[in-house]
A and B are shown apart, each in its own frame.
Chain A
Amino acid sequence: DAGITQSPRHKVTETGTPVTLRCHQTENHRYMYWYRQDPGHGLRLIHYSYGVKDTDKGEVSDGYSVSRSKTEDFLLTLESATSSQTSVYFCAIDDGASYEQYFGPGTRLTVT
């Protein structure tokens, strides 16, 4: 298994509260990604990072921000959670050579 962990694995939060999800890798890979799982859409890219402090938006970035202050950690923040952000969030990494992405175990977020 690729060395990717996500925390927390499950979270329930209330509408309007801030939430931060963490992705941690031990592979020293340059690229990291945050996806959300949506029925009928498979996985949709929220934000990605191509290096420390280098990030860019994906397809569904509204309402989300990210930060990457060191190679191994990529944080996803929901500044003010909404019920539409209830989903399973997956982090992924790749080495930039094969473009094959390896996924973390996922974080199930419920916004009530």
Chain B
Amino acid sequence: ILNVEQSPQSLHVQEGDSTNFTCSFPSSNFYALHWYRWETAKSPEALFVMTLNGDEKKKGRISATLNTKEGYSYLYIKGSQPEDSATYLCAFNNAGNMLTFGGGTRLMVKP
């Protein structure tokens, strides 16, 4: 069983704040790191897939970085909005098609 950890488990921020959270994963046998956004009562929605050390991806106000050598990825949200409230999941792929998910970071943005 692979150990994929996310921190913090939950986070409350004010509208307009920028925030970031961490995903740590095994640094050996790395193939890809995925980020998903998961709103309550909906299904997880893919945000990013990153495969190379140093990768940076951006989608609107959300961006992510990847460090495969030390086994971590950061997800950043700039100027948080109430609609950003969701659980953010990372998933580690060590080759093959199986993903191991972290426990998620639950973000709540207060207006």
Contact surface of A with B, Cβ cutoff 8 Å: 31, 35, 40-45, 48, 50, 58-59, 90, 94, 96, 98-106
A59 vs B9: C-alpha distance in the bound complex, in angstroms?
22
A100 vs B57: C-alpha distance in the bound complex, in angstroms?
15
A100 vs B47: C-alpha distance in the bound complex, in angstroms?
10
Given the interface contacts A43-B101, A44-B101, does A104 sit within 8 Å of B43 by beta carbon? yes
B34 shortest CB reach to chain A, Å: 7
B3 shortest CB reach to chain A, Å: 12
9 A-B interface contacts by CB (under 8 A): A41-B101, A42-B103, A45-B100, A59-B1, A94-B97, A99-B31, A99-B34, A99-B97, A103-B44
Give the interface size bracket for B toward A: 20 to 34
The interface residues of chain B lying within 8 Å CB-to-CB of A43 are 44, 89, 91, 101
A31 vs B98: C-alpha distance in the bound complex, in angstroms?
10
Q: What 10 pairs across the A-B complex have the smallest Cβ distances?
A: A42-B101, A103-B43, A43-B101, A42-B104, A42-B103, A103-B44, A40-B103, A31-B97, A42-B89, A100-B46
Tell me whether A90 and B44 are in contact (CB under 8 A). yes
Whether a CB of chain A sits under 8 angstroms from the CB of B49 is: yes
Given the interface contacts A42-B104, A43-B89, does A101 sit within 8 Å of B43 by beta carbon? no
Whether a CB of chain A sits under 8 angstroms from the CB of B109 is: no
Given the interface contacts A42-B103, A99-B32, A100-B49, does A48 sit within 8 Å of B98 by beta carbon? yes
A94 vs B6: C-alpha distance in the bound complex, in angstroms?
24
Determine the residue in chain A with the shortest Cβ distance to B95: A99
B104 shortest CB reach to chain A, Å: 5
